């Protein structure tokens, strides 16, 4: 199969889907790999490195799509790429179609097969291709928080670790999945006072045991969320419903009760966001204010650490790319679950 790896078009998206090492494995299995010119530069990978691994370099994206059957991307196709997608294509990338009706229509119209990394699901319910970027986004959420809580950046001027005679910063994480867990690790490491809110009792018990009571655990009721947000310096939205829109667990009223200069980082923004006040932003203009509360809602956070993210993503998706390229999709139930759109039909519930 001819596999195409395009250069990402999203604003400040520096990742590339596969590394030269992964390309080498695909070539060894008898596949041809096309990489668009300069696709890896944002992650410190040159065209020559891809060529040394056995890939051919496509002059532009149009050539790459024309000559390839399997398109492996990081982020969902943007509007300027829609016309390049044809019926013979298999698109394998993060898609997050629940938050993008125009993308849904474009993929249906093309009659391609669109497989989303984020809905590939193992028998135990885990999401192996979403996990690596969720870990990175969770850790970045606190790193971003440290930056934007600075007074010069519009924040309230709070140090999460606190200081002698001064309270520690308070971090509230809503959602105890992979993103939430990694946000907690980072926040605790900085010395913050951390609370986790989740709808599942089993998750709360895990956090209580894992962190020996050092992390406060609370059930996800509206009145609980409202009270915790009011006292928080940094709130991380880490709510996930596989393949569907994120539930709006935070209301405008809750945001309005937060202290001026507090920060809300919505990692769930790829799936529409978990607050009524959330709207997508990008790295060129990452934050905005609602009732004097900063909102960071960048839809491709891991691009901030593109080299780490590229290698982490490539390592985990390679076995699945091989299965798709080898024509073994029907033998892989986890990949079948990842098919969002096929031959014009929407195959997952977006609500």
Tokens 């977006």 appear where? 350
- Judge whether 350 lies within some domain: no
Residue 54 and residue 173 share a domain: no
In order along its 351 residues, the chain shows pLDDT tens digits of 999 999 999 999 999 999 999 999 999 999 999 999 999 999 999 999 999 999 999 999 999 999 999 999 999 999 999 999 999 999 999 999 988 999 999 999 999 999 999 999 999 999 999 999 999 999 999 999 999 999 999 999 999 999 999 999 999 999 999 999 999 999 999 999 999 999 999 999 999 999 999 999 999 999 999 999 999 999 999 998 887 899 999 999 999 999 999 999 999 999 999 999 999 999 999 999 999 999 999 999 999 999 999 999 999 999 999 999 999 999 999 999 999 999 999 999 887
pLDDT reported for residue 171: 98
Instruction: Provide the terminal-to-terminal Cα distance of the chain, rounded to the nearest Å.
Output: 35
Number of structural domains (the chain) is 2
Q: Is residue 348 domain-resident? A: no
Active-site residue, 147 included = no
| 154 and 95 together in one domain | no
Does residue 316 sit within a domain? yes
Residue of 96, 233, 266, 295 marked catalytic: 96
pLDDT at 350: 84
61 DSSP assignment:
H
Among candidate residues 100, 198, 266, 270, the one labeled active-site is: 270
Distances (CA, A) of 146 to 108, 159, 162: 41, 7, 12
Strands across the sheet containing 90-93:
56-58, 32-36, 2-5, 70-72, 90-93, 113-116, 339-342, 345-346
Residue 215's domain comprises: 134-303
| Same domain for 319 and 268 | no
Chain position carrying tokens 């609602």: 290
Helix axes 306-325 and 20-28, enclosed angle (nearest 10): 10
40 contacts: CB under 8 Å, gap ≥ 6: 16, 19, 20, 46, 47, 49, 50, 310
| pTM of the complete model | 0.94
Q: Are residues 155 and 286 in the same domain?
A: yes
Query: Does 299 lie in the same domain as 169?
Result: yes
Q: Is 310 in the same domain as 213?
A: no
- Residues 196 and 180: beta-carbon distance below 8 Å: yes
Clarify whether residues 151 and 294 are in a common domain.
yes
**Same domain, yes or no: 40 and 74:** yes
283 is catalytic: no
Q: Does a structural domain hold residue 51? A: yes
Residue 65 lies in a domain: yes
CA–CA gap between residue 306 and residue 229 (Å, rounded): 31
Element (H, E) at 263: strand 263-266
Residues 140 and 102 reside in one and the same domain: no
Which residues have a Cβ under 8 Å from the Cβ of 126 and sit 6 or more positions away?
Answer: none
pLDDT at res. 85: 98
Q: Output the pLDDT for position 244.
A: 83
- For residue 293, give the CATH number of its domain: 3.40.50.720
- Are 208 and 250 in a shared domain? yes
| Domain shared by 14 and 86, yes or no | yes
Domain identity same for 118 and 257: no
Cα(102)–Cα(214) distance, rounded to whole angstroms? Answer: 44
């Amino acid at each position: 199969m001819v596999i195409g790896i395009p250069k990402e078009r999203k604003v400040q998206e520096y990742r590339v889907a596969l590394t030269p090492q992964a390309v080498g494995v695909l070539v060894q299995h008898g596949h041809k790999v096309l990489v668009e010119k300069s696709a890896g530069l944002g992650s410190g990978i040159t065209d020559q490195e891809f060529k040394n691994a056995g890939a051919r370099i496509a002059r532009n994206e149009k050539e790459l799509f024309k000559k390839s059957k399997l398109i492996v991307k990081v982020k969902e196709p943007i509007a300027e790429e829609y016309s390049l997608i044809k019926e013979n294509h298999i698109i394998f990338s993060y898609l997050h179609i629940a938050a993008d009706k125009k993308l849904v229509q474009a993929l249906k119209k093309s009659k391609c097969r669109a497989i989303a990394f984020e809905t590939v699901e193992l028998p135990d319910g885990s999401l192996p291709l979403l996990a690596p970027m969720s870990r990175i986004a969770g850790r970045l959420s606190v790193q971003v928080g440290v930056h934007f809580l600075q007074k010069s950046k519009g924040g309230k001027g709070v140090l999460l670790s606190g200081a002698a005679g001064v309270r520690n910063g308070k971090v509230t994480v809503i959602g105890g999945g992979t993103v939430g867990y990694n946000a907690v690790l980072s926040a605790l490491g900085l010395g913050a006072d951390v609370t986790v809110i989740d709808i599942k009792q089993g998750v709360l018990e895990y956090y209580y045991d894992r962190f020996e009571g050092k992390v406060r655990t609370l059930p996800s009721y509206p009145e609980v969320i409202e009270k915790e947000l009011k006292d928080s310096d940094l709130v991380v939205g880490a709510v996930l419903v596989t393949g569907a829109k994120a539930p709006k667990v935070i209301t405008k009223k809750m945001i309005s009760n937060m202290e001026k200069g507090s920060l809300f980082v919505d990692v769930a923004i790829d799936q529409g966001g978990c607050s009524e006040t959330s709207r997508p932003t990008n790295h060129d203009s990452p934050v905005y204010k609602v009732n004097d509360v900063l909102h960071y809602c960048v839809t491709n956070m891991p691009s901030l650490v593109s080299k780490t993210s590229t290698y982490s993503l490539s390592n985990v998706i390679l076995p699945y790319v091989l299965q798709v390229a080898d024509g073994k999709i029907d033998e892989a139930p986890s990949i079948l679950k990842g098919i969002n759109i096929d031959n014009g039909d929407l195959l997952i519930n977006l609500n």
